[in-house]
Structure 1
Amino acid sequence: MTHDLDHATLKAKQRAIRGGFPENMGLRVHRAISWIGRAESCGEDHDARFLFLWIAFNAAYASEEQFQLAAPSERAAFADFFERLVRLDGEARIYRALWQKFHGPVRLLMQNRYVFHPFWQHHNGIAGHADWEARFTAAARSFAAAFQQGDCARVLSFVFDRLYVLRNQLMHGGATWNSGVNRAQVRDGAAILGFLLPVFVDIMMDNPQADWGRPFYPVVD
């Protein structure tokens, strides 16, 4: 079951089957599981939990090719990673995880304007974003349609588009640690990453021969 996937379960599985992992894939999984474990120790510190889980996400997906690009598009890299995961997810674990949480953190995140990039573009006076509310409404409809159609990769792209805004707010000093303002998106973002990342890593371990890309920072003696 999805909710049983915690650090201890993932680590035990990794230790049991890692002998069959290709080097690059094994390194990704090892690093991602280590950060999932660190995130679990954060308790109610949602800021720290979110950031450690985002590091786990980076460990799982970020590739050498992405870092070589002059202007890497993380959203494009996300989409490629999601499509690969969904294609290999024969038991629809990701979709079921999202469905189980749809009326909780995912729904609340998608309704939160503070993690919608055009809102901040307009708020900061950048031309061409006065219609952010119409875009917000349209995005909500598109997300609902993708969800109803079972287009899991597109659903993930919508969700991580919002999470990426939150990631930028935290990483670039756009928020105060443990602030009383706009806590909902940090709490919900950490919850979403907390139930999705273990599923992602588990699918990777079930498909070690898939092309997960070469990490940009391999272990160097």
Structure 2
Amino acid sequence: MGLRVHRSISWIGRAEKEVEDTDAQFVFFWIAFNAAYADERALAGIAIGEKATYADFFTRLVRLDNKKRIYEAIWQQFSGPIRLLLANKYVFSPFWQFHNGVQEHVDWERRFGAAQKVVASALASGDTVKILSLVFDRLYVLRNQMVHGGSTWGGKVNRHQVRDGAAILGFLLPVFVDLMMDNPNEDWGVPFYPVVEE
């Protein structure tokens, strides 16, 4: 857990230095998120996949969050940006699958409508874990756009989702790390690429 937290804090610190460059800030925050949650068991095929791994991570964090810091961030501080992000088709994976010619996603609009019903239900019931999972699904699409060269650095198109995404990550990640440090006996999984002494 110490290595995982140390790595995450280092990337959070780097992201916080990028006050003028939200593209870089978002990418650095995403690396911090990976350092915090990623479990080597997923790589080995023991866990059931990346999204399941971070859903498990969110469930654990929300359970341990006695002060309700995550809840307040989602339902008060960032409720507007989160709602906008979840209503944005440009961070919805089936939208891009359709535009990339994947025939199975020709019905992306129906899927988007169904996803919006899931969002509305989670918002109505105050399901923090579900909202976190939905938000990070959308942020993952944004991460893919950026890391795989599907956007222009400092571009003018769709800047609000990068700005809002960086702000959401910038608030939540330090809370996640604090909760991990407050609960060192939890099984946080095996970090990727452990330090190997030669």
- Counterpart CA distance in 2 for 1:71 and 1:89 is 24
- Counterpart CA distance in 2 for 1:162 and 1:138 is 15
Q: Which of structure 1's runs of 4+ aligned residues deviate more than 2 A?
A: 69-73, 101-104
- Percent of pairs with identical residues: 67
CA gap 1:142/1:194 in 2 versus in 1, 3 angstroms = same
Partner of 1:49: 25
Are the counterparts in 1 of residues 73 and 79 from structure 2 also a CA contact under 8 Å?
no
SS of the aligned residue for 1:128 comes to: helix
- Counterpart CA distance in 2 for 1:125 and 1:169 is 17
Are the counterparts in 1 of residues 47 and 53 from structure 2 also a CA contact under 8 Å?
no
Residue in structure 2 matching 1:82, options 31, 55, 58: 58
Residue in structure 2 matching 1:199, options 172, 175, 178: 175
Residue in structure 1 matching 2:7, options 27, 31, 41: 31
The answer on 1:123 being equivalent to 2:123 is: no
Are the counterparts in 1 of residues 8 and 35 from structure 2 also a CA contact under 8 Å?
yes
- Counterpart CA distance in 1 for 2:117 and 2:43 is 33
CA displacement at 1:72 relative to structure 2: 6.8
CA displacement at 1:154 relative to structure 2: 0.9
- Counterpart CA distance in 2 for 1:72 and 1:159 is 20
TM-score, structure 1 normalization: 0.84
- Counterpart CA distance in 2 for 1:26 and 1:150 is 32
- Counterpart CA distance in 2 for 1:147 and 1:197 is 21
Matches within 5 A, 1:160-175: 160-175=136-151
CA RMSD of aligned residues (A): 1.6
Partner of 1:22: none
The letter for the 1-side match of 2:192 is F
CA distances 1:126-180 after superposition (whole Å, capped 9, x unpaired): 1122221222122122112112212211111100000000111111111110011
CA distances 1:5-32 after superposition (whole Å, capped 9, x unpaired): xxxxxxxxxxxxxxxxxxxx11111111
CA displacement at 1:107 relative to structure 2: 1.4
CA displacement at 1:116 relative to structure 2: 0.2
TM-score, structure 2 normalization: 0.94
